[in-house]
Amino acid sequence: MRGHGLYFHLTDDPPTVVADPSNANAVQTWEINDGKVMAAMVNSVKQSMLMSLRKFRTAKAIWSHLKEQYVQDSGALLDTLMQQTHAIEHNDMTIDEYYSAFDRLVGSLTSMIGDCTAHNCPAHQFIEKFFVYRFVMGVREEFDSIRKRLLHDSSDLTMTRALSDLLAEETRLRSMSAPPMSMSHTVLAASQRYNAPPKGTSSEPCKHCGKKKYSSKNCFS
C-alpha cells in the first residue's frame, strides 16, 4: 500500500461529502482507490474469512477487523513464534522454499511489533538484523563457507543480500554435483564407432573358407 501511496486508506476516515459539489472529484477518487485497497486485502486472506469481511465498506474497517484477528498482544503466542523461529532450518528445502517458510513466520512476529516514530528506528533495525542472522544460521552445513562470509561482513548485511548470495551458492553447488560424463563410456563409444565395419559390408562367414570377412564379396571375389 505504501508503494502505491494508499497506506492512509488503512488509517484515515473517508472524506465527508459537503453540500456543494466542490469535493465531489476528491470523494470519487477516494472511493475508487479505497475499492482497490479492499480488493487487495480480500484477495490476500483465506477463503474461510471472506464471509466475515463482506459487512465492511471501507479498507480501514477491514484492516481493523484483521488486526483484531491476527495481532494479539499475547506472551504465549510470542513465545510460540520465537520457538518456531529458532527451530526452523533449511534441511531438505531449497533456499527459496526455506526463505518463504521463514518469511511467513517472521511476518507473524513483526505484526506484533508496535509502530516506531523515530527515523530509522533503532529497535526495528535491530530486530530486522536479528532475523537476517537467524535465517543465515539456519542453512545447511554445505553452505558453511558462504554463511561464515556473510556473518563476517555483518555490518551491512541485509536479507536481500543474504538471499542473493545463498541462491548463487545453491546454483554453484548444484552445478558441481551434476554427474560428469563417464570417460570409459566415451572411450568405449569412440572405439565402437571407429571399429565398426564399413557401411554396406557384411560380417557373415565366407561360404567357402568359413572365415569372417568384412566385404560385400566372398573370399574368391
Predicted local confidence at residue 192, as pLDDT: 57
Predicted local confidence at residue 162, as pLDDT: 92
Query: What average pLDDT does this structure show over 173-181?
Result: 76
Predicted local confidence at residue 77, as pLDDT: 60
Closest to 139 (Cα-Cα) out of 170, 161, 160: 170
Q: What percent of the chain has a predicted confidence (pLDDT) above 90?
A: 12
Angle, helices 95-110 vs 159-177, to 10°: value is 160
Q: Is the pLDDT of residue 14 over 60?
A: yes
CB atoms within 10 A of CB 126: 9
CA–CA gap between residue 173 and residue 166 (Å, rounded): 10
Query: What average pLDDT does this structure show over 73-93?
Result: 70
* Least confident segment among 32-36, 126-130, 132-136: 126-130
The 3-state secondary structure of 151-214 reads HHCHHHCCHHHHHHHHHHHHHHHHHHHCCCCCHHHHHHHHHHHHHCCCCCCCCCECCCCCCECC
Predicted local confidence at residue 166, as pLDDT: 94
Predicted local confidence at residue 71, as pLDDT: 53
Q: Which set of grid coordinates corresponds to residue 187?
A: 572411450
Q: Is the pLDDT of residue 221 over 50?
A: no
CA–CA gap between residue 131 and residue 46 (Å, rounded): 26
Q: Which set of grid coordinates corresponds to residue 220?
A: 574368391
Let me know: does 213 contact 219? Beta carbons within 8 Å.
Answer: yes
Q: Is the pTM of this model over 0.75?
A: no
Q: Is the pLDDT of residue 217 over 60?
A: no
Strand partners, 212: 205
CA–CA gap between residue 193 and residue 81 (Å, rounded): 64
Higher pLDDT, 158 or 203: 158
CA–CA gap between residue 166 and residue 170 (Å, rounded): 6
Q: Which set of grid coordinates corresponds to residue 123?
A: 529497535
Strand partners, 40: none
Predicted local confidence at residue 3, as pLDDT: 67
Angle at 160 between CA 155 and CA 166, to 5 degrees: 95
* Least confident segment among 32-36, 137-141, 153-157: 153-157
Please state the φ and ψ torsions of residue 117, each to the nearest 5 degrees.
-85, -15
Q: Is the pLDDT of residue 81 over 70?
A: no
Q: Is the pLDDT of residue 36 over 80?
A: yes
- pLDDT band at residue 186 using 50, 70 and 90 as cut-offs: low
CA–CA gap between residue 63 and residue 57 (Å, rounded): 11
Predicted local confidence at residue 164, as pLDDT: 93
